[in-house]
Amino acid sequence: MADTSPAVGSPGSKGYEPDVPITTSPMFDWPPRPVATLRYLVTPVMLPYGVWWVALAALTWNYLTPSMERMASLHPGWMLQIYVRNALILAAVAGALHLALYMRRAQQQRYKYNRQWMSTTNREFLWTNQTRDNVFWSLVSGVTIWTAYESLTMWFYANDWIPSVGWSSGWPYLSVLTVAVFVWSVTHFYLNHRLLHVRWFYDHAHYLHHRNVNTGPWTGISMHPLEHVIYFSVFALWWVVPAHPFIVILGGRCRTRGSSASRSAGARGAPRRAPTTSTICTTATSSATTATGPCPSTSCSAPSTTAPPRPTPGCASA
Ligand SMILES: [Zn+2]
């Protein structure tokens, strides 16, 4: 029987529907699949996507980070420098995607789960404008708390209060850690997202993120400050595990760039208010995700007691 459903993007279409079941990585399979996992970490996690973020982190550490001498004492000057750098990088990624996909609408509604564009009349959002609301929470709360964690960690390094490893003697260990950052990021994301769907955390914090039924590039870290504190606790691993400031920067970049990319297509059917039970979350890839990295987009569909699925590696987003 011929398919008579309307074309994606045409009036009456429900929007983009990816092939199902959506495949997940072998990284969290049980029983373990070590060979498949290693192959997956090489490609697509590191090649081609991961190397771009590693390169950006190296550039950031070598040229866009204050000296360790300056960071040895808590001073607002160098922390402001890190804030501005982080804000500009986030704005460059999210802004470019917003410009291409939502202002110029280069792909129109292809691959867009929700056919609507960003709301400009919804009172749930600040100034009734979803994009402005998302930019506000991302830059005012998100980048501030991200910068606070990063600055605190750098201050610890500068005073030798946490264990560190140098590249000259520890390059094999740090090379492995460079890949492990991607695994840690998604594992931490899975755990913190489970926590955020506990009723109290959802009602007091995570609801703000899930107002964004229709997601865009600025939605990724548009969150309540309490959620940002939990979300960016990904940095805390480096307070006990020996690492290097470059690894810290890569982890922060990984946590924030994936959100913009994976939020660019949108999601369908998330609850606007706290669910009566925990909420099932599904993973899906978007057109922008395919273009920029192997990062999953998670979207909540309906209240359920079912646990979220296993995480997909790459940089994570809530
Ligand atoms: Zn959620």
Digit-coded pLDDT (tens) for 195-234: 999 999 999 999 999 999 999 999 999 999 999 999 999 9
Longest pairwise C-alpha distance within the chain: 71
- The 10s digit of each residue's pLDDT in 231-249 is 999 999 999 999 999 999 9
Tell me what pLDDT residue 254 has: 85
User: Which stretch of DSSP H or E encloses residue 186?
Assistant: helix 167-196
Q: How far is the CA of 258 from the centre of ligand 1 (A)?
A: 15
- Range of lowest pLDDT (18-27, 86-95, 197-206, 237-246): 18-27
Q: How far is the CA of 35 from the centre of ligand 1 (A)?
A: 31
Q: Are strands 297-303 and 279-284 parallel, antiparallel or unpaired?
A: antiparallel
Q: How far is the CA of 272 from the centre of ligand 1 (A)?
A: 11
Q: How far is the CA of 209 from the centre of ligand 1 (A)?
A: 8
Tell me what pLDDT residue 165 has: 97
Mean pLDDT of 40-46: 88
Q: How far is the CA of 280 from the centre of ligand 1 (A)?
A: 8
Rounded Cα distance, 308 and 298, in Å: 9
- Say what the pTM is: 0.79
Q: How far is the CA of 66 from the centre of ligand 1 (A)?
A: 35
Phi and psi angles of residue 281, each rounded to the nearest 5 degrees, phi first? -120, 140
Q: How far is the CA of 267 from the centre of ligand 1 (A)?
A: 12
pLDDT at 318 over 70: no
Tell me what pLDDT residue 7 has: 52
Tell me what pLDDT residue 107 has: 85
Rounded Cα distance, 275 and 271, in Å: 7
Tell me what pLDDT residue 49 has: 83
CA dihedral 77, 78, 83, 88 (to 10 degrees): 100
Tell me what pLDDT residue 19 has: 81
pLDDT at 6 over 70: no
Q: How far is the CA of 301 from the centre of ligand 1 (A)?
A: 10
Q: How far is the CA of 48 from the centre of ligand 1 (A)?
A: 28
Q: How far is the CA of 124 from the centre of ligand 1 (A)?
A: 18
Q: How far is the CA of 148 from the centre of ligand 1 (A)?
A: 23
Q: Which residue has the higher pLDDT, 252 or 255?
A: 252
Q: How high is the mean pLDDT of the chain?
A: 81
Tell me what pLDDT residue 259 has: 56
* Extents of the domains making up the chain: 46-303
pLDDT at 27 over 50: yes
Compute CA distances 41 → 46, 172, 293, whole Å: 6, 17, 13
Tell me what pLDDT residue 23 has: 79
